[in-house]
């Protein structure tokens, strides 16, 4: 039987044992169509803080455009710092946040005795969890996102801000800031069109072969605009309004991104000349009223970046500052 714990940000929880989780899953390895993935098994018996209740989510990369929805049952949370490694999905590099049904968790107190996880039980659970449905089509939380959620109506999109505050995901002031950001960019788009739209039909590419740990500088926004088409895309990748905030700043490369699983389809898509930068996440408030919970990495084309001339000095400074 499902138990709604009504967890809130900051609550300490323990991921249940493999046997307990197996008892919640159907033949496809899902609970209410949300898969428990192989990458999640390693967290069984471990403890984490709840970072958010999931009120609404967005999905992108699909031909139908941006999807805004919610899980059909109010029992999904995020745990601090947990993202999918993609290790059991052919090395997918999307690094999605992991969604957790409350039925897979138990609320605990500091100092309480931890559950014992048997390795054999973990392997048994892993063995029953599928990772693909056919060649180059994978089965994971991202692939099943549309099945596990329902699309929000326009009115619902604009009313969920109250639920975000009640859930403890943000303060009224923080939500007011999010709404202000959305309204500004919505009005701007209506009056002026896409932010950053360029005039190039066949957008250019550049290969820097950046590697994790390298320091780069984000080019000035005027230089980036020259690489974009009229929809602010470079070879299908959108330069979003919040990305302008990093122009002129230095960041370290988190990782190269060459393949990822597409939301809603499970298709593995190949990318070229693209990286993640440390601390660069989706500014969802720019496109979704009140924001959403996914906090995805932002994708950066290498043509929008240049290697930092003083990366060694910057690295030394950051170490001295303890960053």
Residue 323 has pLDDT above 90, yes or no: no
Q: What is the mean pLDDT of residues 273-277?
A: 97
Residue 6 Cα distances to 11, 70, 105, angstroms = 10, 16, 11
Confidence of residue 322 (pLDDT cuts 50, 70, 90): very low
Average pLDDT of the chain to the nearest whole number:
90
Q: What is the mean pLDDT of residues 21-41?
A: 97
Q: Tell me the per-residue pLDDT of 191-206, one tens digit each, with 9 for 90 and over.
A: 888 888 888 888 999 9
Residue 66 has pLDDT above 80, yes or no: no
Which of left, alpha, beta for 183 (phi over 0: left; psi -120 to 50: alpha)? Answer: alpha
Token pair of 218, please?
């984000």
Confidence of residue 65 (pLDDT cuts 50, 70, 90): low
Domains of the chain: which residue ranges? 12-159
Residues 6+ apart with CB under 8 A from 36: 21, 24, 25, 29, 30, 104, 129
Give the CA count within 13 Å in the CB-facing half-sphere of 6. 3
SS3 per-residue string spanning 228-279: CCCCCEECCEECCHHHHHHCCCEEEEEEECCEEECCCCCEEEECCCEEEECC
Residues 6+ apart with CB under 8 A from 317: none
Residue 25 has pLDDT above 80, yes or no: yes
| Angstrom distance (rounded) from CA 154 to CA 289 | 10
Q: What's the pLDDT at 149?
A: 94
Token pair of 101, please?
């049904």
H runs (alpha helix) in the chain = 18-22, 119-128, 145-148, 154-159, 161-166, 172-192, 221-225, 311-320
Give the CA count within 13 Å in the CB-facing half-sphere of 243. 27
Query: What percentage of the chain reaches a pLDDT higher than 90?
Result: 73
Token pair of 193, please?
């069109």
Residue 304 has pLDDT above 80, yes or no: yes
3-state class (DSSP) for residue 67: strand
Confidence of residue 314 (pLDDT cuts 50, 70, 90): very low
**Tokens 């896409």, residue located:** 194
**Tokens 């710092």, residue located:** 81
Confidence of residue 144 (pLDDT cuts 50, 70, 90): very high
Q: What's the pLDDT at 2?
A: 58
| Angstrom distance (rounded) from CA 205 to CA 198 | 15
Query: What percentage of the chain reaches a pLDDT higher than 70?
Result: 93
């Amino acid at each position: 039987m499902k138990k709604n714990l009504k967890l809130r940000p900051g609550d300490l929880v323990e991921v249940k044992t493999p046997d307990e989780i197996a008892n919640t899953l159907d033949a496809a390895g899902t609970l209410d169509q949300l898969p428990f993935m192989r990458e999640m098994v390693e967290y069984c018996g471990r403890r984490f803080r709840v970072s958010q209740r999931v009120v609404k989510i967005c999905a992108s990369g699909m031909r139908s455009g941006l999807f805004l929805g919610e899980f059909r049952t109010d029992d999904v949370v995020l745990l601090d710092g947990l993202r999918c490694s993609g290790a059991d999905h052919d090395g997918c590099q999307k690094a999605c946040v992991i969604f957790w049904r409350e039925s897979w968790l138990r609320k605990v107190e500091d100092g309480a005795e931890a559950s014992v996880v048997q390795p054999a039980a973990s392997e048994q659970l892993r063995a029953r969890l599928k990772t693909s449905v056919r060649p180059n089509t994978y089965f994971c939380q991202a692939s099943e996102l549309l099945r596990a959620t329902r699309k929000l109506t326009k009115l619902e999109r604009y009313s969920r801000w109250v639920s975000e505050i009640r859930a403890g995901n943000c303060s009224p002031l923080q939500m007011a800031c999010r709404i202000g950001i959305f309204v500004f960019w919505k009005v701007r788009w209506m009056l002026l069109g896409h932010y950053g739209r360029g005039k190039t039909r066949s957008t250019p590419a550049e290969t820097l072969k950046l590697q994790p740990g390298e320091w780069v500088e984000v080019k000035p926004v005027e230089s980036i605009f020259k690489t974009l088409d009229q929809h602010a895309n470079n070879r299908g990748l959108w330069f979003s309004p919040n990305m302008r905030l990093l122009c002129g700043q230095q960041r370290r490369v988190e990782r190269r991104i060459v393949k990822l699983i597409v939301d809603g389809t499970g298709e593995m898509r190949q990318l070229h000349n693209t990286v993640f930068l440390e601390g660069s996440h989706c500014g969802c408030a720019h496109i979704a009223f009140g924001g959403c919970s996914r906090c995805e990495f932002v994708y950066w084309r290498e043509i929008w970046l240049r290697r930092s001339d003083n990366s060694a000095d910057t690295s030394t400074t950051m170490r001295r500052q303890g960053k």
